[in-house]
Amino acid sequence: MTKDAILEQLKKEGFDAHYVAHDSALFYENAGGVPWTAIYIQAKGDLIAALCEDIAAEEQARATYRWLIDLMDDVDLKDSLKFLWERKIVNSLRFREAVEILKEKRDEKIFY
């Protein structure tokens, strides 16, 4: 969204610190400016635990898309965000279905 922005626009919108550190390159950070780190990735080696993490991530993204939609005036951008919001709902439902399948088969001895 800042692809063709000029320096004055970046300053006006509060992106001057980002520009100083990263120019116009992508730099993953949360809304509070905290950089992304791999420590956010959880790994237990348990499929049910991993899917529950995935469900939580989908629900958090869904909520963020909803809030962005509420802030948008641009109809095209709002439509794109609505598509992503709906996709998060479907993803969460599919992960929940997978958790239930795994719970049913949790005690079975499956050999390959």
> CA torsion sign, 72 to 74 to 80 to 83?
positive
State residue 28's pLDDT score: 83
pTM comes to 0.64
State residue 107's pLDDT score: 80
Q: What is the mean pLDDT of each run of 10 residues along the chain (112 residues)?
A: 79 80 78 80 81 94 94 92 96 97 83 58
